[in-house]
Amino acid sequence: MNNKENEINDFIKELEVECVKELEIQHKDLVKICTELEKSRDYYAGLFELAPMGYVTLSTNDTIVEINSMAAKLLGQSELWKLRNQHFTKYIERSDKMLWNHRFISSKKQIGKQHSQLMLQRADGTMFKARLDYVWGFEAENKLPLLHVTILNIGV
């Protein structure tokens, strides 16, 4: 091999070493970011689950996508999975269903937080007056629109 070829080979080896070092640095950074994201996710999941008010996320067709323990308790159900994929309207007292349907549909055309006071019905048939605050957002993964709803018991 001549001197030129040796220089080129040395340069390629140096470049490979630098690339490996850069990849190792990027890997460490990614691991750190993933750890921080997991901590953040766990923190907010805990807040969601332990919140003193009900949180429900609804799909565009009024089905429950996510629900926290307080919302399940307010609706008289101890098992969250039994509420998922149920129509939220099922838990609205008959005389308020038309109002909710109107507000649900019109909320899709509005920007910002909205609210309603409705009578909700628990699984055992008892009723309670609730304040619902809601705003449309998007699912992070599929960018599907979702209605984020808070439920507060404001009396019988």
Rounded to an integer, what distance in angstroms lies between the CA atom of residue 51 and that of residue 145?
A: 23
What is the pTM for the complete model shown? 0.76
Going from the C-alpha of 119 to that of each of 1, 22, 50, 78, 129, the distances in angstroms are 88, 60, 24, 20, 4
Rounded to an integer, what distance in angstroms lies between the CA atom of residue 154 and that of residue 137?
A: 25
Q: Which of the residues in the chain have pLDDT under 50?
A: none
Neighbours of 53 (CB within 10 A): 15
Three-state SS for 77? coil
| DSSP-derived pairing of the beta strands 54-58 and 145-155 | antiparallel
From the number of C-beta atoms within 10 Å of its C-beta (0-12, 13-18, 19+), residue 25 rates as exposed
pLDDT score for 155: 83
Each residue of 27-57: pLDDT tens digit? 999 999 999 999 988 888 888 888 889 999 9
DSSP 63: B
pLDDT score for 75: 95
Tokens of 124: 């055992």
Q: Give CA torsion, residues 79, 84, 86, 91, to 10 deg.
A: 50
pLDDT score for 109: 83
pLDDT score for 17: 85
Rounded to an integer, what distance in angstroms lies between the CA atom of residue 150 and that of residue 147?
A: 10
pLDDT score for 27: 93
Tokens of 70: 């307080």
pLDDT score for 29: 92
Tokens of 130: 């609730």
Segments making up each domain of the chain, as ranges: 1-50, 52-155
pLDDT score for 11: 84
Superfamily for domain range 52-155: PAS domain (3.30.450.20)
